[in-house]
Amino acid sequence: MVRINLRDFYPFTQEDTYIEVSAEVANMMNAFERAEASYERKIRRYKAYYSLDHKSGIERSILFTSHSPEELYERKLTREELHTAIAQLPDKQAKRIYAHYLLGMSKEEIARVKGLGFLNNKGTDYFNGRVITRNGKITSKEMVHIANAAEKFGNGEVVFTTRLTVEIRGVHFDNIEPMREFLAQEGLITGGTGAKVRPVVSCKGTTCQFGQIDTFDLSEKIHERFFVGYHDVKLPHKCKIAVGGCIHNCVKPDLNDIGIIGIRTKNEDGKACPGYKICIGGRWGKKTAKGQPLSKIFTSEEEVLDTIEKIILFYKENGLEKERFADTIARIGFEEVEKQLLS
């Protein structure tokens, strides 16, 4: 508790009156006192006897001089040239420069917002927010809630990313936190970016006539154990996981850092059963690398999940900062990596 004198805060209090309040209340009252003093200094300094608060209308207009038509036109041309120059930069660099120098966001704020799953729409003051799904699955109730969020906080458009997250487009910076709070009412979260395990993707599995494994069941377990469970685990770079139901490779598991492919194999008794082949070190984009399969064929989901955990932890311990897993494997050697993973 903090002891304060009401006479210091209220002009109508003529005598010393001491009371005890919490530290939070005392700090708040001191903050109000400082704000009032600052306001009075502005009035004296600018001889302005009306509001200087930063709001619409005439407020603060006394602090600024009007510009001539020539100056306004020159500013317009400069801004257009700046936008043209930024548009020629690589996408990631352009978004960071625009957010920092034109939107006035600090580098820390840019990183924080990106970590929440909000990426700046290059050349605008708006962001696209990514809502996490369970490998593309959402309930009808969640779908309605997402649509309402898009209408309320975005431009009404919703798209799906390659990682099967739902992207709400056209979200103003000021609407980021309100939208996240609104989505949380239905248990939905945003994210899916950063140097960590990314959202898991899978094909339709046994819904398809060629599917050998239940990809939805396995990918949901991977989602809970590694996307959710490893949310705060920082890796050298992003780590993408995909689950494919058969050798036809529709979801391209071997172009992910970790890929699981469903096959038909035999168990220890020689009977036919579902099997799992695990590929490591795949990637796509500017640099494409096809993942290499481990020599062991797995016959249970538990084995697969435990091996994925070993792979992620190996990458965490042995990968260099900003090094993709494919490059880690190339540097160490596939044979040595496989030996450590299967030992």
pLDDT of residue 57: 47
Indicate whether 335 pLDDT > 50.
yes
pLDDT of residue 162: 87
- Per-residue pLDDT of 151-165, as tens digits, reads 999 999 999 998 889
In 3-state terms, what secondary structure has residue 64? Answer: coil
pLDDT of residue 327: 96
Query: 48 or 69, which is more confident?
Result: 69
Q: Which of 97-106, 198-207, 295-304 has the highest mean pLDDT?
A: 295-304
What is the DSSP code string of 69-134?
Answer: HHHHHHHHHHHHHHHHHHHTS-HHHHHHHIIIIIS---HHHHHHHHHTTEEE-TTSSEEEEEEP-B
Identify the weakest region by mean pLDDT among 12-26, 167-181, 225-239: 12-26
228: enclosing H helix or E strand: none
Amino acid at 316: K
| Residue 270, CA distances (Å) to 160, 247, 294 in order | 43, 21, 21
Query: 203 or 121, which is more confident?
Result: 203
Identify the weakest region by mean pLDDT among 93-102, 119-128, 243-252, 314-323: 93-102
333 confidence band (pLDDT: 50, 70, 90): very high
Q: Answer yes or no: are the C-beta atoms of 242 and 260 closer than 8 Å.
A: yes
Edge-to-edge strand ranges of the sheet holding 258-266 = 201-202, 241-244, 258-266, 272-280, 292-293
Indicate whether 21 pLDDT > 50.
yes
Query: 66 or 36, which is more confident?
Result: 36
Q: How many residues does the chain have?
A: 343
Q: What is the mean pLDDT of residues 311-320?
A: 97
Q: Which burial class, exposed, middle or buried, applies to 125 when counting CB atoms under 10 A from its CB (0-12, 13-18, 19+)?
A: middle
Q: Answer yes or no: are the C-beta atoms of 238 and 196 closer than 8 Å.
A: yes
d(CA 138, CA 132): 9
- pLDDT cut 90: percent of the chain above it: 52
pLDDT of residue 89: 79
290 confidence band (pLDDT: 50, 70, 90): very high
Domains of the chain: 2-63 (no CATH), 69-184 (3.30.70), 201-342 (3.30.413.10)
Indicate whether 64 pLDDT > 60.
no
What is the pLDDT of the chain when averaged over all its residues? 87
- Per-residue pLDDT of 173-203, as tens digits, reads 889 999 999 999 999 999 988 899 999 999 9
Report the 10 Å Cβ neighbour count for 342.
11
- Tokens encoding 42: 């502005």
pTM for this one?
Answer: 0.70
Q: Which of 26-30, 82-86, 195-199 has the highest mean pLDDT?
A: 195-199
56 confidence band (pLDDT: 50, 70, 90): very low
Indicate whether 81 pLDDT > 90.
no
- Tokens encoding 96: 């960071």
pLDDT of residue 50: 52
Indicate whether 299 pLDDT > 70.
yes
Amino acid at 55: K
Q: Shortest CA distance to 238 belongs to which of 274, 275, 197, 290?
A: 197
d(CA 248, CA 232): 34
Report the 10 Å Cβ neighbour count for 136.
18
Q: Shortest CA distance to 100 belongs to which of 193, 169, 173?
A: 173
